[in-house]
């Protein structure tokens, strides 16, 4: 999966943003669960939230990979990290992860639904297989709903529960269909039916869930990171550490923060 390059944040911009978040939200008693956090965007998010003082639980379907990620962060001097085995496509695995986490903590403050896959390519609409669609949706859409619903009980015990659904700018129907929209010309080469529509569906879930909890302390948003070098982009792009400013910001929103939004590194994205 390829996403359009966005304006690169300078090192000074990044450090300023992080310091702003630290000054507003530095804490040592908040908890966060990040799915698919053993690598890429999830790993970078885990590192930065841990640096902000959150006790972070790295969710990974592979125990060895998850434990290795914890060891890497421990090596950076971060001891507020633990591992939770969770396969978002497996109902029993998610149930077990919730029970395990509930045995360790009394509340969950932040859920970052990051785990996702690109599927096999090409994915042109006239030929994409039903099997490919099902596989991608199981991880990117049903997996998010499954995890969210199981962990709502712990999130409701937080004074400031936050849910970040990691999406993609490629889920924007406006940018795919409006000739005057940003990236319209670029997007013509990336009509990946399974992946893109799974993110569009994810955005719809965000809207519905945010509305359901609009009169509560919940803040629930879809956030697209910048163009990062991960396995979804064939490792073309910037370091994940450089492009997750929006994820960190919306995971640490204060009580006046927005909810039910589609956000990218440069601000709000058209649905």
Give the bridge partners for 32, in sequence order: 56, 110
What are the C-alpha distances in Å from 110 to residues 41, 177, 178? 16, 34, 34
Average pLDDT for consecutive 10-residue bins of the chain (271 residues)?
A: 44 48 58 97 97 98 97 97 98 98 98 97 95 98 98 98 96 92 77 96 98 98 82 65 93 97 94 95
CATH number, domain at 184?
A: 3.40.50.720
Looking at residue 185, what is its pLDDT? 80
Q: How far apart are CA 167 and CA 113, in angstroms?
A: 9
Residue 4 forms part of a structural domain: no
In a domain, 75, yes or no: yes
Does residue 224 fall inside a structural domain? yes
Six-digit token pair at 27? 């804490």
Residue 232 lies in a domain: yes
> 56 lies in a domain?
yes
> What tokens does 33 get?
């669960």
DSSP code string of 95-159: HHHHHHHHTT-S---EEEE------SS---TTT--HHHHHHHHIIIIIHHHHHHHHHHHHHTTSS
Any domain includes 203: yes
How much is the pLDDT for 10?
47
Residue 3, domain member (yes or no): no
d(CA 49, CA 254): 15
Output the pLDDT for position 6: 43
Q: What is the DSSP string of the chain?
A: ------PPPPHHHHHHHHHHHHHHH--SS-EEEETTTTSHHHHHHHHHHHHTT-EEEEEESSHHHHHHHHHHHHTTT--SEEEEE--TT-HHHHHHHHHHHHTT-S---EEEE------SS---TTT--HHHHHHHHIIIIIHHHHHHHHHHHHHTTSSS-EEEEE--GGG-HHHHH-TTSTTHHHHTT---HHHHHHHHHHHHHHHHHHHHTTTSS-EEEEE---SB-SGGGTT-SB-GGGS-HHHHHHHS--TT---S-EEETTEE---
- Joined together, the tokens standing for residue 85 give 């085995």
> Please, are residues 61 and 85 in contact by the beta-carbon 8 Å criterion?
yes
- Count structural domains, the chain: 1
Domain coverage including residue 31: 11-268
């Amino acid at each position: 999966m390829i996403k359009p390059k966005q304006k690169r944040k300078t090192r000074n911009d990044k450090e300023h943003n992080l310091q702003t978040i630290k000054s507003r939200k530095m804490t040592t008693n908040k908890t966060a669960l990040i799915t698919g956090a053993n690598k890429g965007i999830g790993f970078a998010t885990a590192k930065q939230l841990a640096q902000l003082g959150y006790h972070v639980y790295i969710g990974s379907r592979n125990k060895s990979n998850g434990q290795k990620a914890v060891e890497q962060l421990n090596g950076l001097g971060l001891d507020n990290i633990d591992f939770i085995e969770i396969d978002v496509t497996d109902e029993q695995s998610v149930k077990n992860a919730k029970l395990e986490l509930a045995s360790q903590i009394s509340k969950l403050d932040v859920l970052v639904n990051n785990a996702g896959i690109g599927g096999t390519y090409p994915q042109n609409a006239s030929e994409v297989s039903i099997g490919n669609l099902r596989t991608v949706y199981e991880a990117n859409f049903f997996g998010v709903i499954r995890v969210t619903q199981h962990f709502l009980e712990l999130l409701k015990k937080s004074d400031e529960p936050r849910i970040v659904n990691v999406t993609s700018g490629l889920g924007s129907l406006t940018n795919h269909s409006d000739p005057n929209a940003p990236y319209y010309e670029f997007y013509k080469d990336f009509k990946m039916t399974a992946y893109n529509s799974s993110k569009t569906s994810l955005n719809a879930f965000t809207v519905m869930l945010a509305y359901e909890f609009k009169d509560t302390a919940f803040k629930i948003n879809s956030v697209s990171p910048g163009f990062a070098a991960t396995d979804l982009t064939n490792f073309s792009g910037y370091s994940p550490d450089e492009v997750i400013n929006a994820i960190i910001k919306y995971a640490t929103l204060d009580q006046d923060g927005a909810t039910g939004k589609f956000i990218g590194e440069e601000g709000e994205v058209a649905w």
